[in-house]
Amino acid sequence: MMTVHILNCIDRLLKDIIQDSNQPFGGKKILIGGDFRQTLPIVPHATNPAEIIELCINRSSIWNHFKKLTLIDNMRLQANSEFNEWLLKIGAGTTPAIAGLHPNMVEIPSSMICVGDLISQIFGNFADTDDLANRIILTATNEMVEKINMKILGYLPGEERTYRSIDTHIFEDEDENEQAGIQVEFLNSLSTSGMPPYELKLKLGSVVILLRNLDHRKGLCNGTRLQIVRMQQKSITAKILSGVNHGELVCLPRINLTTKKGLYPFILKRKQFPIRLAYAMTINKSQGQTFNAVGIHLNKRLFGHGQLYVALSRCRNPNNIKIFIEETDITQGDVLKNGRQYITNIVYPGIV
């Protein structure tokens, strides 16, 4: 997901430091990894695929200097070569066309179609708390993530506790800060990707995901999954559920988080615990993670390159993937025809 501008910036920086402008990166060896089948760089307000493709790193003039090595073994799915081959076709957009449907439609295997409640099929009765971190529901939008997380939180036993953030706004012009007159209630209502909510609702035992890098040595990185152990007024104690620090207890403080420039006419500054509930997350956020069971909840059609490939490739066992598509709101994308379910697979041929 790195943009071409970042790669070019690293190139110019190293040339300047090494004082060697004749070799890429000043002669230093650079190792990068990724998969163009997965989601591409996020381009705010992009109107067509070409704008996104042009920001990919393989559009850089430096790209020709790289030696390309390809991984050929899917470590998640070594025991299921048939599903692995199907996944690669999904990622490359080379699945056979279906008569009467748009070329980017693919059929969902009957074993993956969710019949009944998706939450109960993925999480069961929530009895095995140690296994909750290995199960996830993926969806396309942050709005649906919040709805699913709140619904699951209601199923958990125990008393719910709410932590409210302190929200302020910042303008680059100091005079504007004094004259803006933005209501605090409006700031509280704002919710954006990568930020905790104004009202953070938790229960003992609930699973959360870290939204910021706090301490690499302790394993507290963006994307680390934790389980709430104690809830104090000014701190939260949690147990790490993933990585080499699995099982260790850590203390999470409130920190100041800010939005990126350009998202709003001002910068939102929110003092809150840098966590969110992690029973559901967006497909884009799930990249790089592996789970024992994955549910895919779609109330809107997929809208980005590689989203279907990313969602389907997060699980070790294809039999533990369940896809639930709401009948409402999906009128131009995913369809039910002759008793079979089809789903949109968006792939930009110019990048794969």
Compute how many other C-beta atoms are within 10 angstroms of the C-beta atom of residue 254. Answer: 18
Any alpha helices (H) in 207-262, and if so which ranges?
Answer: none
Give pLDDT tens digits for 173-204: 665 555 567 889 999 999 888 899 999 999 99
Lowest mean pLDDT among 10-19, 127-136, 249-258, 289-298: 127-136
Q: What is the pLDDT of residue 200?
A: 95
Q: Is the pTM above the cut of 0.95?
A: no
Please list the residues that pair with 137 across neighbouring strands: 280, 295
Domain ranges of the chain: 4-65, 81-123+283-344, 145-278
Greatest mean pLDDT range, 167-181, 251-265, 315-329, 330-344: 251-265
At residue 257, the 3 state secondary structure works out as strand
**Tokens 């089809």 found at:** 342
Q: What is the pLDDT of residue 279?
A: 93
Q: What is the pLDDT of residue 72?
A: 72
Give pLDDT tens digits for 85-125: 889 899 999 998 888 888 888 888 888 988 889 999 998 87
Find the distance separating the first CA and the last CA of the chain, reported in whole Å. 14
